[in-house]
A and B are shown apart, each in its own frame.
Chain A
Amino acid sequence: MPQKSIRQALNEALAQEMRRDPTIVVIGEDVSGGAGTAGQRDAYGGVLGVTKGLIGEFGEARVIDTPITESAIMGAAAGAAVTGLRPVAELMFSDFFGVCFDQIFNQAAKFRYMFGGKARTPLVIRTMIGAGRSAAAQHSQSPYHVFTSVPGLKCVVPSNAYDAKGLLIQAIRDDDPVIFCEHKLMYDLRAEVPDEPYTIPFGEANVVRDGDDVTVVALARMVHYATTAAEELAKNGIEIDLIDPRTTSPLDEDTILDSVERTGRLVVVDEATPRCSIATDIAALVADKAFDALKAPIRRVTAPHTPVPFAPDLEKLYIPSPEKIAAAIREVHGYGR
């Protein structure tokens, strides 16, 4: 099976879905790239390279470059969604959600409810998350927990190219607004990806590794760090059950709870800040619904409650490392033994 990067997988998902359904449009800043300039159009394929080739195949009516106005992009996309199109809007950096959050949080997320179930809002917002590139405090955050907290929004956080394609197609076919989070350091990460279109259901976690000693839940880039930690720990005979929820809303509670029922020990790894986070949410879920199974305190490995530092050395300290993850797993594994 062909190996593809996350960038290629997303591009393929967009192109295949746009071929299948003429109501799908792509809208965002520079999604074709170079519009209105003397340079070559679509030379790079948008700022992220994800939309490359779409303008050539589908034209300007379906690949819409916008001014640098997030509120207008999201407002137009939400309106288009509720009136019959299936827009895939791009919010270049998720950090910018603040300027367009009314359109997302108070409009798109509420339409179905406010119109008594008679309105559908098939809107996808693709957006970039993640620290690690010295992009500083305003371009490095992972605010998926904010989107997760809003009833009416679905939130997807893929960790690999296979999941990225299947989840993006699922998001496009979904009739509710979906926030699709792409980690900026993972676009070139490769995996086996079928050429055919396919969907992965929301709320179905991926069990990355099997183990009976400690349950570890991790998202996006942290899945790979946790895997590194797991390989190290396996040498000492500690086998972790590594769960990648893939979607934070809906969340696959059953897979997490079933695993903790078996292991009695939980570590949650989250690149985001810890207060009111996914890590905290999952810790609360397990404390609430699997308390009797727990043999050790739950540990969260997260960023500190600070802005993301610009200085590379500090940024490296800020992001949970495989070493920190392994240390937390060892601690939880050894507790009470």
Chain B
Amino acid sequence: MTGITAITMPKWGLTMTEGKILGWLKTQGDPVAASDELLEIETPKITNVMEAGETGTLRRIVAQPGATLPIGALMAVLAPPEVADAEIDAFVARFAVVEPGEDGTAESDAPAPSELETAGGQRIRYLGIGGDEGPPLVFIHGFGGDLNTWMFVQPTLAQRHRTVALDLPGHGGSDKTLPAGDVASLAAAVSGALEALRIDRAHLVGHSMGGAIALHLAAHHPGLAKSVTLIAPAGLGPEINAGFIAGFVQAQRRREAIEALHQLVYDPALVSRAMVEDVLRYKRLDGVTAALDAIVAAWFADGRQRVALSADLGALSMPAQIVWGREDRIIPVAHAEALAGKLPVHILDNTGHLPHMEKAAEVSRLIERFLGG
């Protein structure tokens, strides 16, 4: 039964156990390419589109819209047109039998975040997935985010690479007290964490403020960074959506949080009730407001970006690429457009400030291709 591919319920994020099929974007019998959008899936945290991942014909849709399925459950079957229907039937039947047995092991194998302490005594939460071979991919989230922002791309890239996603100080499950909020201090926390993990060389992937931190690290510790992928990074121009920053910092109530989060994405439907609740739960923790205030003062005071790293980017000794959403309403895509020709710049259509969530499969591919090349 060569060439038959099972399309199964993906695991997006640490807490996902099941997903609901909102609708199929292809119909049975359609030819599909690997990057074609197949279906829309809703989890308690997020709604997202799943791509085919493989080329073939959508031979069988097993799960209908409205169905809620556990992770790993069969949703559809891809296969070349020449595969007989009977073979597809057999595949589906066999899958249904095998699946429950795998359920328990899949659950216990689910990756869980760990904690480390840097030499400076800072407690950092991180999520490591994937093998031990080669320099790992290290993911650095943006302002107000946490390692869950990589929930779509990290598992994909972990299939071939060791990956580590960190929570910056003041964020996620890391210490909420910051020694200082400036780029050098946050970069020192990241390098401290990598030291504790005995990682001396890594592919850095940073988003927004985390992009600027990755860039700062690469410029100041060229031995540490094997490559740099910057997703809508801060630090490449003075403009920033000051209203968003202020709104996010001040938001204590659901309505305010929704208003702020909608600015992050092109399609507001991506912002689920649980995503809003997660942000509020983070923001309610003692120390978070003070940490965010300290970062804002160092990075975004007076509604302008104070961290300027364009010169660092020009002087990098390792490969770097830039990914940006054309409809980014937080940091303008013009910052990327100004760099075209100097390094690989990928601008994604119908995408806001979170390309790695909004266009996860495409961003994963861009990173994979970049590392391969």
Contacts and interface: CB of A to CB of B under 8 A. Distances in A.
Interface of A: 162, 166, 194, 196-201, 204, 207, 210, 254-255
Interface string B245-286: 000000011110000000000000000010000000100111
Contacts of B141: none
A200 B280 CA distance: 9
Contact of B284 (A200, A210, A255): A200
A198 B284 contact: yes
Identify which of B176, B284, B287 gathers the most chain A CB atoms within 10 Å of its CB: B284
A196 B253 contact: no
Given A166-B284, A194-B281, A201 B252 contact: yes
A166 B281 CA distance: 10
Contacts of B286: 196-199
Contact of B285 (A194, A201, A207, A254): A194
27 contacts: A162-B281, A166-B284, A194-B281, A194-B285, A196-B176, A196-B285, A196-B286, A196-B287, A197-B285, A197-B286, A198-B281, A198-B284, A198-B285, A198-B286, A199-B284, A199-B286, A200-B284, A201-B252, A201-B253, A204-B252, A204-B253, A204-B254, A207-B254, A207-B273, A210-B273, A254-B255, A255-B254
Identify which of A162, A198, A201, A204 gathers the most chain B CB atoms within 10 Å of its CB: A198
A227 to B, nearest CB: 14
Interface of B: 176, 252-255, 273, 281, 284-287
Contacts of B176: 196
Top 9 nearest A-B pairs (CB, nearest first) are A198-B284, A197-B286, A198-B285, A196-B285, A204-B253, A201-B252, A210-B273, A199-B284, A196-B286
A313 B198 CA distance: 64
A194 B285 CA distance: 9
Contacts of A196: 176, 285-287
Main secondary structure of the interface of B (DSSP, over half): mixed
B133 to A, nearest CB: 31
Nearest to A255: B254
Nearest to B283: A198
Given A196-B285, A197-B285, A255-B254, 5 more contacts: A166-B284, A196-B176, A198-B284, A204-B252, A207-B273
A162 B280 CA distance: 13
Contacts of A200: 284
Nearest to A203: B253
A215 to B, nearest CB: 15
Contacts of B287: 196
A201 B289 CA distance: 14
A168 B328 CA distance: 40
Contacts of A162: 281
A255 B273 CA distance: 13
A82 to B, nearest CB: 26
A275 B262 CA distance: 42
A325 B176 CA distance: 43
A204 B256 CA distance: 11
Contacts of B252: 201, 204
A48 B91 CA distance: 57
